[in-house]
Amino acid sequence: MAYDIIAGYDIVADLPHEAHGETGLATRGESGAAKFGKKNGMGKAITHGPHGSLVQDHGLQVMRRQEAPLPLLPAIPAGGAQTYNIQSQRAFRADRLFLTDSVGPASVAVVQDINIAQRSQFVSPGAVPISRFAGNFFDGHIRFETSYPGIFISINVLNLNLVPDLVVGSMTGESVIV
């Protein structure tokens, strides 16, 4: 397994969303990220973190790819819904969600929402077919927000099949190992 040694950073914001000033990210004199860091009492904030995150230096740490498994829950009854909760133990940013179900390719189960800290990762309400998160789905990468220790990642699945459906899966992403 490959490890990347990075200066120890806490991911404090995803750029460019939270670091925008009124005039945009690139402002005269100092960056929007630097202003964001000062405004939020982060001291010396820099933007050279993983995936363009706003980060704060804390010494050397190891960053690596890890899995966050979904809990194994009973099958979802026909027409029923179930929420899968993952509580991260370290800063974790998922970039892929893998889901498989017992019905297989003919499944009409859907993901109604994915939340990180009660914040939806969908840009609008709706449902996405569970097949979108299959391991063999081309270009299945989604850049989720960062989840911090103790924060819940919730995945809401609705079973539209006429039979119970057992859903299993995991999220893959990067985490900082202290």
Cα separation of 139 and 119, whole Å?
Answer: 23
Residues 6+ apart with CB under 8 A from 166: 74, 75, 76, 101, 102
The whole-number pLDDT of residue 58 equals 56
Domain identity same for 88 and 59: no
Domain identity same for 108 and 153: yes
The three-class DSSP label of residue 38 is helix
Of 24, 45, 64, which residue is a domain's last?
64
**Which single residue is written with the structure tokens 């690596």?**
64
Domain identity same for 89 and 113: yes
Domain identity same for 27 and 91: no
Domain identity same for 148 and 76: yes
Domain identity same for 53 and 79: no
Mean pLDDT, 10 residues at a time, the chain of 178 residues:
44 47 41 53 48 56 87 95 94 93 88 96 94 83 91 96 95 86
Domain total in the chain: 2
Q: Report the predicted TM-score, pTM, of the whole model to 2 decimal places.
A: 0.66
Domain identity same for 49 and 107: no
Structure tokens at 137: 């789905």
Domain identity same for 51 and 98: no
Closest CA to 165 of 121, 99, 113: 99
Domain identity same for 14 and 100: no
Of 36, 64, 92, which residue is a domain's last?
64
Cα separation of 138 and 46, whole Å?
Answer: 34
For residue 102, give its domain range: 70-177
First to last CA, the chain: 17
Closest CA to 157 of 98, 81, 72: 81
Domain identity same for 96 and 56: no
Residue type at 73 in one-letter notation: L
Of 64, 88, 115, which residue is a domain's last?
64
**Which single residue is written with the structure tokens 């929007």?**
32
Domain identity same for 78 and 141: yes
Domain identity same for 82 and 44: no
